[in-house]
Amino acid sequence: MKLIITKDYEEMSKKAYNEFSQIVNHIKEPKIGFATGSTPIGFYNEIVKSYQTKGVSYENLKAYNLDEYIGLSRNNEHRYNYFLNHHIFNRINIKKENIDIILDNDNPIIEECERYSNILLKNPLDVQILGIGANGHVGFNEPGTKPNSKTRVVELNEVTIKDNSRLFSKIEEVPKHAITVGITDILNAKNIILLASGKNKSEAVKNMINGDISELCPASYLQKHDNVTVIIDQEAASLL
């Protein structure tokens, strides 16, 4: 793992953009897996800035994502397609037909899982962007996830429901189930960029980098991948 520790969130976001652009600029039709959550928003703003102020084109970028709640209506603003449209896709020149977000269709859930896993395994992403949960999850691969897991339906862990409830008006509104791409799918990407910010991520970051590879911290499976760049601020790095 390549580790970059930054002084704060802003620097983390800028470094993430630098790493991302170094990979993507050399690829004609880069395939990118986008993460949701608060952490990558600053990085996505840097991508938008590069389009708006430097004329970087994202016309040929193909976009995928990591996970989606089950049970929210198509136009619910907590859906991850809404998040990605709002924070990035509507603000750059990506073509709509190049965006393939999990469950942004009427497919039956099981078929959708198979469809998505096939895409990720047959056409490896050039970059998979990741955050990390305070419990060590990546995507919605909660503690207990096996390394051979693929895209599937999962039950969300209590820590995740509590963490994500900050974005809902009450905790009861947080869905209990989601689709997540699996560890096998994630590790199939050619490059992985993982971001973390803040003290509440420090324990998970420590377990990911220095802990044993274990289902107790699914992010530790990233130790098996050859091209992972971990970009974290000082607070997230405080237990290293």
What is the rounded CA–CA span in Å between residue 79 and residue 23?
Answer: 28
Catalytic residue among 46, 126, 142, 233: 142
Is residue 39 at the binding interface for ligand PGA, with CB under 6 A as the rule? yes
Is residue 131 at the binding interface for ligand PGA, with CB under 6 A as the rule? yes
Is residue 218 at the binding interface for ligand PGA, with CB under 6 A as the rule? no
Residue type, 156: L
Is residue 47 at the binding interface for ligand PGA, with CB under 6 A as the rule? no
- Identify the residue whose tokens are 């590069």: 50
Stretch that binds ligand PGA, among 42-50, 104-112, 126-134, 151-159 (CB under 6 A): 126-134
Instruction: Identify which of residues 60 and 200 has a Cβ nearer to ligand PGA in the complex.
Output: 200
Instruction: Identify which of residues 131 and 182 has a Cβ nearer to ligand PGA in the complex.
Output: 131
Stretch that binds ligand PGA, among 9-17, 33-41, 43-51, 90-98 (CB under 6 A): 33-41
The reply to whether 172 belongs to the active site is no
The reply to whether 137 belongs to the active site is yes
The reply to whether 118 belongs to the active site is no
Say which residues have a Cβ less than 8 Å from residue 10's Cβ, sequence separation at least 6. 42
Q: How many residues bind ligand PGA (CB under 6 A)?
A: 6
What is the rounded CA–CA span in Å between residue 183 and residue 161?
Answer: 20
DSSP string, 183-202: HHHHHTSS-EEEEE-SGGGH
Among 120, 125, 129, 132, which residue sits at the site for ligand PGA (rule: CB under 6 A)? 132
Is residue 38 at the binding interface for ligand PGA, with CB under 6 A as the rule? yes
What is the rounded CA–CA span in Å between residue 149 and residue 168?
Answer: 29
What is the rounded CA–CA span in Å between residue 138 and residue 189?
Answer: 14
Residue 228 β-bridge partners: 192
What is the rounded CA–CA span in Å between residue 199 and residue 6?
Answer: 13
- Identify the residue whose tokens are 């051979």: 148
Please, what is the minimum distance in Å from the beta carbon of residue 43 to ligand PGA? 11
Q: Which residues bind ligand PGA (CB under 6 A)?
A: 37-39, 131-133
